[in-house]
Structures are given as C-alpha cells and as structure tokens.
Amino acid sequence: MLPLIKAVFEYAFKKGIARQNVRCSLKNLEVETPDGWQGILEHGMIPVHPNTISLPQHFPSDVSIQLLTPLTIRYDKKVMKAEQLTESMFFRQAIRDISAIATTHWENPLEGRFQELIGATELVRGRKSLSDTKWKRHSNRQQRDMTYQGVMGEWTFYDLPAELSALLYIGQWLHIGKETTFGHGGYRITAGL
C-alpha cells in the first residue's frame, strides 16, 4: 500500500498542487516505529522496513487525548458542535471507522463484537475542553470554496473497557470522523498510556 501512496503523491506533486498548481517533489518518507520516526526513502525507493505497530501490554481505563486536527462527527445528518458531542458519539464513530478498515486488513475484524462494543460506549464518562472551529478549502473538482466545521481541544475518558481503550490507541493512526482523507480527526493520547 505504501508504494501506491508514494506513487500517487509523486504524480500529484509533479502535476502541481493547490490553486497555483505548485510543482514539487517528494523528498522524504517516514514511518513511525516504537523508537520514533524512521526515514525510509533511499534513492527514491522504499526498502524493506518495519511495518507493524507495537501495541501496549495494558490499556488503561482513563485516557486523555489532544485533537491535533479538527474532528467532525455527524449525528442525525448534522455536524455536532462541542457542547453536543458525547463520549458515546465519539466512540461509536471510532468503532465504525476502525471496523471499516479492520474488515479489510485485520485477521479478526470487529464484526462479531460490533453490538457489544456499541453498548459499552454508553458506560464511558468524560471531561472535555473542546471548542468549535470552521475552515475553508478550495475544491478544484467542484471549482468552489468549501466550508467545514468541527471541534478542537482535549478530552479525557473515564471507565473505558479495555477493548475501547485499545481502539482509542489504534485510532491515533487512522483518524476518526469525517474528512479523514484531508487529515482531519487526528489525535494523540497525552495521558494514560
């Protein structure tokens, strides 16, 4: 998959990106390892490299996250504002997003435990410090500016079952919510692990 992603970026950079069709080239490619980020691009090629994530041995029941990019969650066809978002909404979205990827790429997808995990989201408590944010981007395909909204900030979850805590950990690499193809819904665990 990584060679395909590399090829797509190289093609886009060569053709030109953004409104000004700026041309550029891919200078480096890094993967995250237990020891930090490791550059893997050698003479324009991707050599054999570690391609696994080391999961912790223990997943705590209390975890804090920092949203790095805007999080957009829709409920009942509406984008949820900071005061409307609940812990259950966040984890239901995480379960849906991770399950979609797990079905294709994991040996044991979440299908059999989906309803059990959804039920567990109702027991999670939290404390949030979130604020609403709006931003615009230009769509070359639609030839117009698009307005988006979401939330940014910090969120602490309490009483997480181990499986939800594990999904929260994995979600750091996958992102959660809408517009993840633009890098949105990214977060990092800041306390608890």
In the chain, where the domains are located:
2-39, 63-191
Task: Retrieve residue 71's tokens.
Answer: 């999080």
Mean pLDDT in the chain?
Answer: 85
Closest by CA position to 93, among listed 70, 68, 121 = 121
Which amino acid makes up residue 110?
L
Nearest in space to 168 (alpha carbons), one of 1, 32, 35, 56: 56
CA dist 95 and 84 (Å) reads 19
Per residue in 51-65, pLDDT tens? 666 778 889 999 999
119 versus 182: the higher-pLDDT residue is 119
Q: Can you read off the two tokens belonging to residue 160?
A: 């997480």
Q: What class does CATH assign to 63-191?
A: alpha beta
Instruction: Give the pTM.
Output: 0.76
Closest among 129, 133, 134 to 190, alpha carbons compared? 129
Say what the pLDDT of residue 53 is: 67
The gap from C-alpha 3 to its chain's centroid, in whole angstroms, comes to: 21
- Do residues 159 and 124 lie in contact, with contact meaning Cβ atoms separated by under 8 Å? yes
Percent of the chain with pLDDT over 90: 35
Compute the distance between CA of residue 124 and CA of residue 160 in angstroms, rounded to an integer: 6
Q: What is the pLDDT of residue 107?
A: 61
